Amino acid sequence: MSGSKTRLQAIDAVKSYQPPAGILPTADAPGEVFGQNVFTKAVMQQRLPKPVFKSLMATIEHSKPLDPTVADVVAAAMKDWAMEKGATHYAHVFYPLTGLTAEKHDSFLEPGGDGSSIAEFAGKTLTQGEPDASSFPNGGLRATFEARGYTGWDVTSPAYILENPNGNTLCIPTVFVSMNGEALDHKTPLLRSQQAMAVQAERVLRLFGHAKPDAVVSFAGAEQEYFLIDRSFFLCRPDLLNTGRTLFGARPPKGQEFDDHYFGAIPERVLAFMLDAERELFKLGIPAKTRHNEVAPGQFELAPMFERSNVAADHQQLLMVILKRVAQKHGMECLFHEKPFVGINGSGKHVNFSIGNGTEGNLLLPGDTPHDNAQFLVFCAAIIRAVHKFGGLLRASVASATNDHRLGANEAPPAIISIFLGDQLTDVFDQIAKGGATASKSKGTLEIGVDTLPVLPTDPGDRNRTSPFAFTGNRFEFRAPGSLQSIAGPMVTINTILAEALDHIATELEGLVTAGTPFNAAVQKVLEEIISTHGSIVFNGDGYSEEWQAEAAARGLPNLRTTLDALPELITDEALDLFSHYGVFTHREMHSRHDIALEQYILSVGVEARSTLEIANTVVLPAALRYQTELASNLASLKSIGAELDTSTLDEVSTGIRALRAGIGALRSGLTHKADASEAEEAAHALEVLLPAMGAVRTASDELETLVADDLWPLPTYQEMLFIL
């Protein structure tokens, strides 16, 4: 069957789409569904002996070390619970540096001595697993002779049951490390960084008079953007299948309206998907709320409620799995790529974060009293210092071949990292820099505190959507992370740079107080120092503007446009020392992360380049040649009857074909492998040669798309994919 027939059949399939019977969610109250498949605190309390439950809670809620002797009891309770819920298997779930979620499945049932089978799940099996680790990137951390990797139970992230028509699976979130305990995943450093940040934050809290502060944790709430397209179209697009983005596709004619026939179906189908997805997420204890997103056609957003960053990161990964699965059930494909469609808004994953603990609550929430506010301003100042000092690391934490298509483009935050504070908070810090804030800017809250710090209202009122790092009243929102990536990487960086800044602040304050400076004056001094040294990171203007590029350069803020500009930030002496000092990454681990990121970049662009070449050769060129033949035989027929000849269409198509062939030639030679190239050379080659060569092929193909007869064009068009749902 020719490609064009496949496309036309896909359109027919969409037109006659009927939702499969019996898949729509039932009307269960969310309360009954929520957490139904989670080994929750309530389930544990019910099923575990009291001392075991208490010991586990001390670890989960107060960051106390896990008592290994409870493992057997917990494992047995978990197994019984899971089997009652229909689980036949268990899986250690881990998060390797591919960015995907990996699972190692095992059966609960083991053969008994007499040919029967017994359900086995010992504490040892719960706490440790040994997956075949050789297929995951390790950046040189594992030589082949020691290819083993271990998974280890993360008791702070709840176990859950993933339903499957062929049997349910008990899923246990785990870390994934090498034989020597080196991190091979996203979770290990997240847990380490969380701990590092907590130690320093608690020091600061003690200085503020909280003698025994509860363990501080970081919270994250991620807003996930995604596209939905009909799955029939998806399956006709080898570029989407292979790379997650369209490597071809002319932009739809401007001002093109929806076809009314299809428009009517959009809300029902997507709504059914959303309800179904929400229900599945609720079962897993993921508090999610879907929303229609007006920004781009076919684009939507889902924001789960914020949770501890470690749990939020796991839930975020699970959420992507669930969305994909449910979309397929509804005949659609969910696209998480940052830029599936050129010329259409891309997708991000805004990471909202705050820090806090049980006794103090949210430390990024301005308080009611000057004293509370001094504390709030100190934590805010820590973020200002952290982001200014380590903006390059934040940029590197969101660097990928796929996010490169989004960052710095018009509708996404720029690659320059800056902070938006809002007018009021900026004004307060400006006053501090000038030697003491006496009043906050907005009317009605003017209050000169005994501590020389003003009372701040909790809502700064203004919002800025162009800033990569914005204060939004009680949290910061990091808007640069890509829709495809794990939020763990950015959170590791945020926690670690915050640890450094809080460490600095605590040390300064301790020094000043010991030397006899009154505490309030010490706070004043430290804030003053931070804002005058690091205040240039604050920018409340339009981050998308041309002027900001120049202004940022004048302020000395880095503008790391591509992944290859950003990755070296990971291995500067400063970065290596930072991460090793706070016990988050050894130098070796850091180098391995850098190497893996580079390797992923090369792989990613390589797959795109090879897909482009293949599609151009086997899909686009044949369609263009068929049309050329049709036009030529049309001219031949006309000539045979002596009719007037107009070769202009044929000429245009022939010109297009020549351009396409030239592009194909250049891309093919770009793909010729240089045997002795280093990784750095290969990456540079991908950026400087392959990406532009792919672009040239695409330009030629997109031009042909506007010329070739529609019934011969094999690839579903932008208009079809974006507007027919």
Binding footprint of ligand ADP on the chain (CB under 6 A): 219, 221, 223, 303-306, 352-354, 362, 474-475
- Nearest of 380, 382, 455, 375 to residue 441 by alpha carbon: 455
- Nearest of 576, 542, 615, 554 to residue 243 by alpha carbon: 615
For the bound state, the minimum distance from the C-beta of residue 460 to ligand ADP, rounded and expressed in Å, comes to 13
Residue (306 or 548) nearer to ligand ADP, CB: 306
- In whole angstroms, give the CA distance from residue 440 to residue 429: 10
With CB under 5 to 8 Å by kind, the binding choice for 232 among Mg ion, ligand ADP, none is: none
- In whole angstroms, give the CA distance from residue 323 to residue 549: 37
For the bound state, the minimum distance from the C-beta of residue 221 to Mg ion, rounded and expressed in Å, comes to 9
With CB under 5 to 8 Å by kind, the binding choice for 354 among ligand ADP, Mg ion, none is: ligand ADP
With CB under 5 to 8 Å by kind, the binding choice for 328 among Mg ion, ligand ADP, none is: none
With CB under 5 to 8 Å by kind, the binding choice for 90 among ligand ADP, Mg ion, none is: none
- Nearest of 427, 428, 419 to residue 464 by alpha carbon: 419
Residue (241 or 305) nearer to ligand ADP, CB: 305
DSSP code, position 537: G
Residue (146 or 459) nearer to ligand ADP, CB: 459
With CB under 5 to 8 Å by kind, the binding choice for 169 among Mg ion, ligand ADP, none is: none
With CB under 5 to 8 Å by kind, the binding choice for 536 among ligand ADP, Mg ion, none is: none
For the bound state, the minimum distance from the C-beta of residue 351 to ligand ADP, rounded and expressed in Å, comes to 8
DSSP code, position 244: S
Q: How far apart are the first and last CA of the chain?
A: 24
For the bound state, the minimum distance from the C-beta of residue 321 to Mg ion, rounded and expressed in Å, comes to 23
Residue (283 or 475) nearer to Mg ion, CB: 475
Distances (CA, A) of 31 to 34, 84, 167, 282, 312: 5, 21, 25, 9, 20
- In whole angstroms, give the CA distance from residue 636 to residue 642: 10
Coil, helix or strand at residue 544: coil
For the bound state, the minimum distance from the C-beta of residue 579 to ligand ADP, rounded and expressed in Å, comes to 24
With CB under 5 to 8 Å by kind, the binding choice for 271 among Mg ion, ligand ADP, none is: none
For the bound state, the minimum distance from the C-beta of residue 301 to Mg ion, rounded and expressed in Å, comes to 9
Residue (4 or 474) nearer to ligand ADP, CB: 474
With CB under 5 to 8 Å by kind, the binding choice for 362 among ligand ADP, Mg ion, none is: ligand ADP
Q: Residue 327: count other Cβ atoms within 10 Å of its Cβ.
A: 23
Residue nearest ligand ADP (C-beta atom): 221
Residue found by looking up tokens 């924001």 in the block: 303
Residue (352 or 486) nearer to ligand ADP, CB: 352
With 0-12 / 13-18 / 19 or more C-beta atoms within 10 angstroms meaning exposed / middle / buried, residue 251 is middle
Residues that bind Mg ion (CB under 5 A): 350
Coil, helix or strand at residue 366: coil
For the bound state, the minimum distance from the C-beta of residue 477 to Mg ion, rounded and expressed in Å, comes to 5
Q: What share of the chain is helix, strand, coil (3-state, %, to 5)?
A: 50, 15, 35
Residue nearest Mg ion (C-beta atom): 350
Q: Residue 673: count other Cβ atoms within 10 Å of its Cβ.
A: 9
Residue (192 or 350) nearer to Mg ion, CB: 350
Residue (323 or 575) nearer to ligand ADP, CB: 323
Backbone angles phi and psi of 280, in degrees to 5? -60, -40
551, amino acid identity: E
Half-sphere exposure of 254 (CA within 13 A, CB side): 1
Residue (467 or 496) nearer to Mg ion, CB: 467
For the bound state, the minimum distance from the C-beta of residue 346 to ligand ADP, rounded and expressed in Å, comes to 17
For the bound state, the minimum distance from the C-beta of residue 594 to ligand ADP, rounded and expressed in Å, comes to 29
Distances (CA, A) of 644 to 223, 582, 629, 650: 61, 81, 19, 15
With CB under 5 to 8 Å by kind, the binding choice for 390 among ligand ADP, Mg ion, none is: none
